[in-house]
A and B are shown apart, each in its own frame.
Chain A
Amino acid sequence: QVQLTESGPGLVHPSETLSLTCTVSGFSLTGYSVYWVRQPSGKGLEWMGRMRYNGDTSYNSALKSRLSISRDTSKNQVFLKMNSLQTDDTGTYYCTRDMGNWGQGVMVTVSS
């Protein structure tokens, strides 16, 4: 059974760095790509970036300067790091396998 679970701090202070982990089961990170998508509270979905099955990454051009995605295949984990957080980065962050199977999401609030 395919499962993705996001984890990370619920609260981040402005200008700090967000670090999130997506832990997967039921499939291999070397066989499928994992994407990060976020959703500001009450708003729409935004694709953030992708970790391809072969280790290549790609990023939303609007976030590229602040964003980094990496992985540890031995731990079945994909990581997201985004720096210089502001209040409009508040929302729910999802990881998804090939945009088909989704995690439940993790809520992140940026506030002092």
Chain B
Amino acid sequence: DIVMTQSPFSLAVSEGEMVTINCKSSQSLLSSGNQKNYLAWYQQKPGQSPKLLIYYASTRQSGVPDRFIGSGSGTDFTLTISDVQAEDLADYYCLQHYSYYTFGAGTKLELK
């Protein structure tokens, strides 16, 4: 099974700052067939269902603000949120779907 190691566990930020969340997979998520990385990012606010932000490591879902940027390839991936807004305070999860499905442990984004 592929293991996803997500860091940090929590992050305290002020509005307007930039934050970076990392996910490392135990094996490559890059498909040799289509050169796509099978890695997605989700946002989950308290009491709500997860919301898909980014798929194929760097493609923003429709309607997601462009301050959310996904990057990385192979085994190392990053979600960057530039100019953090109060509405961005939530839990964030990475998900690999290269071989079945495994979520990272999550990162809680809190207000400093």
Chain A residues at the B interface, C-beta cutoff of 8 Å: 35, 37, 44-47, 50, 58, 60-61, 94, 99-100, 102-105
Contact A47 B101 (CB under 8 A): yes
Binary interface encoding of chain B residues 69-107 relative to chain A, with 1 for a CB under 8 A from any of its CBs, else 0: 000000000000000000000000101010011111110
Given contacts A44-B93, A60-B100, A61-B1, A105 and B106 within 8 Å (CB-CB): no
Contact A44 B40 (CB under 8 A): no
Q: Does B49 contact A (CB under 8 A)?
A: yes
Nearest CB in chain B: distance from A3 CB, A = 12
Chain B residues at the A interface, C-beta cutoff of 8 Å: 1, 40, 42, 44, 49-52, 61, 93, 95, 97, 100-106
Contact A46 B103 (CB under 8 A): yes
Contact A45 B50 (CB under 8 A): yes
Question: What residues on A are CB-neighbors of B52 within 8 Å?
Answer: 99-100
> Which of A37, A44, A45 has the largest number of chain B CB atoms within 10 A?
A45
Nearest CB in chain B: distance from A24 CB, A = 14
Given contacts A44-B106, A94-B49, A104-B49, A99 and B101 within 8 Å (CB-CB): yes
> Which of A35, A47, A61, A104 has the largest number of chain B CB atoms within 10 A?
A47
Question: What residues on A are CB-neighbors of B102 within 8 Å?
Answer: 47
Question: What residues on B are CB-neighbors of A104 within 8 Å?
Answer: 49
Contact B49 A47 (CB under 8 A): no
State the CA gap A102–B45 with chains docked (Å).
Answer: 13
Question: What residues on B are CB-neighbors of A46 within 8 Å?
Answer: 103
State the CA gap A91–B93 with chains docked (Å).
Answer: 17
> Which of B1, B61, B101 has the largest number of chain A CB atoms within 10 A?
B101
Contact B95 A102 (CB under 8 A): no
Contact B95 A99 (CB under 8 A): yes
